[in-house]
Structure 1
């Protein structure tokens, strides 16, 4: 963290950890020193917890590291915070688009639902393959292996029913 004044003098400089209490302390230190605008590099997902901690307290800019490196001046890990603060102070950087927290939460939920659906498909296919190896070709007689007919037939097989005429009675529709 590097806080600079309008005369480009460093007012405060400190290194913080990545755990929530340390990030909260960083936010508190920034607010106490009157920070209203901050910028950070968008490196992988490491910026997300910092952003989440600061987003309600100040205006934030998420900066592409490639753009920061293209600006003239010194660039090293030790000088990063100071360099970004100086660039922000001189209005040399433009922030990337970051959706509102509600939209971010909706995206996370959507990704989770998509992942769960992939899991359902994966395990349904594994079940069908296992049944094929045991001589039950249920998927030849149903539209979907995730449908009611298929599930009902699997339940009958699990309960010991193996008569094809009984199993075919579970299949609904055409």
Structure 2
């Protein structure tokens, strides 16, 4: 006996509807904690569910996908596509409608990359966030120096350059004399703008 399942995913709950090929319905609501998702998985296994469909609701579907993916064929559907399918009655719950569409093979699942690729994407997003945070911190650091009328950033290529960081490090250690700080500036910058200008900027 073929059985499919539709899941209506929310932030703090998952509405489940198991539908057999003979029209038998099993409906239940689960929480989203790991042990609750495992209980939901076990219920599906008990009723011999072979295929599960859910909507791609924010990021809330991801933990559910990870718990279920080793055991079932999964479909991740665009909510807009689900709502556009013809024939839905007004009193049918979302999970039941998803289950009915799955049974009729109307669900066109979105591509979900393998677990390894998902992990690599997480690393990539984290690196991107860290790089953005570095840029923000450097910008705030330069704002502090600008308030003190230290205008070195006007003359270096960027505030992440070796010369700029060397000057900041020296200032943090108590060295504030421009004649000392200018010694930390790369010769190319000195030659381009002149030592008097760079010294004045410090």
Among 95, 98, 119, the alignment partner of 1:81 is: 95
RMSD: 1.6
Whole-Å Cα distance in 2 between the matches of residues 45 and 14 of structure 1? 22
Aligned residues: 172
Structure-2 separation of matches of 1:70 and 1:137: 59
For residue 143 of structure 2, what is the aligned residue in structure 1?
129
Map of 1:6-155 to 2, 5 A cutoff?
6-10=21-25, 12-71=26-85, 72-75=87-90, 79-155=93-169
Structure with the higher strand share, 1 or 2: 2
Runs of 4+ in 1 over 3 A off after TM superposition: none
Larger Rg: 2
Structure with the greater relative contact order (CA < 8 A, sep ≥ 6): 1 or 2?
2
Give deviations 1:38-76, integer Å, cap 9, x for gaps. Answer: 001112222122112111111100111112212212256
| Unaligned runs of at least 5 residues, structure 2 | 1-15, 189-202
**1:75–1:83 contact (8 Å) kept in structure 2:** no
SS in structure 2 of the partner of residue 169 of structure 1: helix
Contiguous gaps of at least 5 residues in structure 1: none
Say if 1:87 and 1:93, in contact at 8 Å, map to a contact too.
yes
TM (norm. structure 1) is 0.90
Contact 1:128 1:145 in 2 (8 A): yes
Alpha-carbon distance in 2 for matches of 1:36, 1:172: 67
